Structures are given as C-alpha cells and as structure tokens.
A and B are shown apart, each in its own frame.
Chain A
Amino acid sequence: MPEHRHTNLGAPATTGQKGEYRPETYRDAGLVAGLQQRIAEAAAQIGRPVKLMHICGTHEHEIGRFALRDLLPESVTVLAGPGCPVCVCDNEYINMAIQLSLTPGVVLASFGDMLAVPGSIPLEGERRGDVRMSLLDARARGGDVRAVYSVFDAKRLAEQNPDKQVVFFSVGFETTVVAVAAMLKRGAPENFSIIEANYYTPPATSILPELDGFDIEGFLLPGHAATITGLRVYEHLAERGIACASGGFEPVDVMAAVLSLLEQIRDDMPTIANPYGRLVRYDGNERAKQELDEVFELAPIRWRGIAEIPDSGYKLRPAYQQFSAARRFAGRLDPLELRGAEHPKGCRCAEVTLGQIRPDQCGVFGKLCTPDSPYGPCMVSHEGTCRAWYVYGMHKEKLHVETV
C-alpha cells in the first residue's frame, strides 16, 4: 500500500456498540482482505475450477468498480447472468413506446437507460449496421420523450399536464415494480397509464440450468430484489444441488457471499445462505408482496432473444387495467414493418445476458458497439454487462503496475 494513502473508512471494523450500524464498514479494507484470504483457502480446498453466477447488473457494476475479480483466485470465476431489465425488455414494448411517443397528445416518460435502446423498427441510413429506432430517434423525429428517475416523477408529469396522456414505460425487475404498484394503489391521475414491461427474475433461474453447457455451481442472489421477493423463491436451485447466497453490493458483502458459496461447494452442502441478512428476510417483504399482488399478476412474457418464460412478466390485474397503455391505445397504433431478428445483426446480447459468452467474445464489442454509440441493449444500460465491461476495462488484461 502506498505510504501516503489514508483510509477514509474510519477505524478498523468492529461491531462497535451492539446494534451500531455504519455503512462504511462494508467497504473496510481489513475485512475485505480477511475474506479474500478465506476465499483463497476455500478455493484451494475445493481444488478445481469453480464457476459462480450473479443475476444482477448492479453486481457486475460493483465488481467492475472495485475490480473484485482481481481479488479472487484464478480457479474461481464469477459470471454475469441475466441481471439487466433493459436488456431483456422485449422489442414489443420498445416499439410501443416509440409509437406512443410519436402520437399527438401523448407524453412518453421513461427511465434514462431505456432511451437509447434499439427496438425492431428499422431505421435506414442513419448509422452503420442493422440500425433500429430507439426512443432517442423518436425524439429526434418530434416524439415527446421525457427522462424520469422514478414512477413518481411520471405521475407528477401527468398531474402537471392534464391535457395530455402521460405514458410511463415501466421497465425494471421486482425492486422497481414495487414502486409502480405502490403508486397505482394509492391513486394515479386518469391521464396516466403504463407500458407493462416489468420482469420477474426468479423464473429465469429455472431456465438457466436447462441450457447446454450449464456448469454453474453457485448463485450470488440479488440482494435488493431479494428484500422484496425473499429467498424462498430460489429454493429450487438448492434442491438441484446449486449453492445460493444472498449478495449485498458493497465489497464486503460480495466477498462474504462468494465465500459462503465456496464453503457450501467445498462441503457439498448446497443451501440458501443469507449473508445479507441485515436487509433480506427469507420470506421477503410481505407488505410489498401483497401490494404487488393486488395490482399485478404474473403472466408469460418474452425475454428478448431468449425465450418466453412462464410467470415472469408483471401484468395489471383487471381492477387496474385502466392504467394499461396497451389497452388504452389498442387499435390506435399502426401496424409496423419490423426487423425479424430480435437483436441487431451481429449483436450477441442474448448470449451475454445468459452468461454464455463474455462481452469481449461478441464480435461488435468495442468496435461497432461502444457506450458512445451502442449497438445493442447490453451496452446501453447501466445494468448491462457489456457496458460495465467496457467502462471498467474488464476486457483488458489484468493490470500489472511497475513504478520505476
């Protein structure tokens, strides 16, 4: 460690007073070093290569930001699985959003991440490759597209523009959709509606083990989604002999989850461990689940480029159907001539999303497809694996520093 380095992380981690909580504890270098040591020991005891997987774009982001793969032994690989709601959002919804934004009297409110994602409406002559329209393209053509942080912002837009129809492009996994349910339950303006594009992840974990060549021995479970869903919904993985551990997002949390998985694998005792117990309860957040269940039901939905997965899409229940944009605007949207392929030609986002290939194994990564000019969804989204890899340089050789 360099001599002038100071730690702004406070005193070495202790539990402090009973019940004292300090967020910076979970970045403590001493704790991380200790966990790193134990991970190395467990990996050595296992004595063969082990593959682990997480299913959360934010996990990949944090792994990149803190270069956590650097701290793991060579024999342990952590793969990025389907963790990006933007990346799996089917073209049908993107195309609908585009059409609605171009409809007079409609304001399309969307998370910033979705704006640059191409759907399947072809766009000739604009850029190189198989180019399709995104919401940004729609905006450039006069579409009323607004970026919002949250569904509450979209609701405010509706209140402030009573003469317009405000459609919220509701994308996201379970952590995000709870806000939509909470909002709708508490009352939304009449001129407000949503495109139902929220996805529920646990069923995707049933698909993964069915894939050819699946050799994942442990799953880092998404810590914040799990605060809502609980961990019980992942039991089928442990029953198949796959280790599971709830993963938080600070370095200590990620390392603790990895260690838990390796110990389960070493001892051949796959279970559902909960290192992130300070937030995650085994049955999740009952109130949130109730509100979700009141407003939404689960239906089959297509995961872009992957498959239609049963019970993995959130659709409004009959009592809330009036907020469905699909219903409200049915018959008002012109049929479209669409590109057949779900992803632009050359884009291997589906395989990256499933963890079957690394981003740098996609032919357009870093060439036709960069964050500045993204070709496919995995590069657009902050939750996208390709973007995290590019931004944090994870595709490059491990960095060796020589000073003089």
Chain B
Amino acid sequence: MCLGIPHEVVDVLSEDSCLIRLGNGTQHCFIGLVEDLKPGDWVVVHAGFAIAKIQRAEAAANLELIAEYLEPETRA
C-alpha cells in the first residue's frame, strides 16, 4: 500500500515531470501532485510518481526530538 522511496530531484523538466537521481544516473518521475520542487529537493516516489516532498525543517526538528531521547548513557 505504501512503498515509497526517497529520491533526490536532479532536474525539473516541467510542472508534471522531473528527473530523480537513481544510482549514477537519473530516471523520470511524475510530479504533478507535488508543488514547488527544485533540484536538490527530496521526494518520496511510489510506482513512478512523487507523492510528497520531504520537508527538511520538519525532518530536522523530528530528529532533534529523537536525539533528545538519546542521553549519552543509552548509546550502545
């Protein structure tokens, strides 16, 4: 239901299409459902189309929250 893989946007070709990085090259991806994409953004791709853009600020905030859980004594 939910398989989605994060990919970096390499080039935005049109409102509906972009190139995402795949290995050493690129692959086409449909982006009609995601707004304001620019190269360097990350999107989650499901069956050939991007379902959402990764909000970096949110990611960072969330990781900080998680990091707060990791007091030095709980680190392996």
Contact = CB atoms under 8 A, between A and B. Distances in A.
| A touching B, CB within 8 angstroms | yes
B53 to A, nearest CB: 8
A150 interface: yes
Nearest to B41: A21
Given A29-B76, A175-B51, A291 B33 contact: yes
Interface in B18-48: 30, 32-35, 42, 44, 46-48
A339 interface: no
A8 interface: no
Interface centre among A29, A34, A84 (most CB of B within 10 A): A34
Interface centre among A20, A25, A176 (most CB of B within 10 A): A176
Contacts of B46: 175-176, 179, 224
B57 A152 contact: no
A15 B35 CA distance: 25
B62 A277 contact: yes
Contact of B67 (A15, A21, A83, A178): A15
Interface string A59-79: 100000000000000000000
Interface in A269-289: 275, 277-280, 285, 287-288
Number of chain B interface residues as a range: 35 or more
Could you tell me the dominant secondary structure of chain A's interface residues? helix
A15 B69 CA distance: 14
A3 B34 CA distance: 45
A149 B1 contact: no
A74 to B, nearest CB: 20
B66 A35 contact: yes
A18 B35 CA distance: 22
Given A182-B30, A182-B32, A37 B64 contact: no
Contacts, number: 139
B18 to A, nearest CB: 14
A126 to B, nearest CB: 30
A144 interface: no
A50 B70 CA distance: 24
A13 B67 contact: yes
A105 to B, nearest CB: 27
A227 to B, nearest CB: 4
A18 B60 contact: yes
Contact of B52 (A85, A150, A259, A279): A279
A13 B4 CA distance: 22
Interface in A237-278: 249, 252, 256, 259, 275, 277-278
B54 interface: yes
A25 B59 CA distance: 10
A19 interface: yes
Interface string B1-20: 11110100000000010000
Contact of B51 (A37, A178, A259): A178
A172 B4 CA distance: 14
Interface centre among A179, A201, A225, A252 (most CB of B within 10 A): A179
28 contacts: A15-B60, A15-B64, A15-B67, A19-B56, A19-B57, A19-B60, A20-B56, A21-B54, A35-B69, A58-B1, A152-B30, A172-B1, A175-B2, A182-B32, A182-B49, A222-B1, A224-B4, A224-B52, A225-B1, A227-B51, A277-B61, A278-B55, A278-B56, A278-B58, A278-B59, A279-B52, A285-B51, A291-B33
Interface of B: 1-4, 6, 16, 30, 32-35, 42, 44, 46-49, 51-52, 54-64, 66-67, 69-70, 74-76
Given A30-B70, A222-B1, 11 more contacts: A14-B67, A18-B60, A20-B60, A56-B2, A85-B1, A176-B1, A222-B2, A224-B51, A249-B2, A275-B62, A279-B54
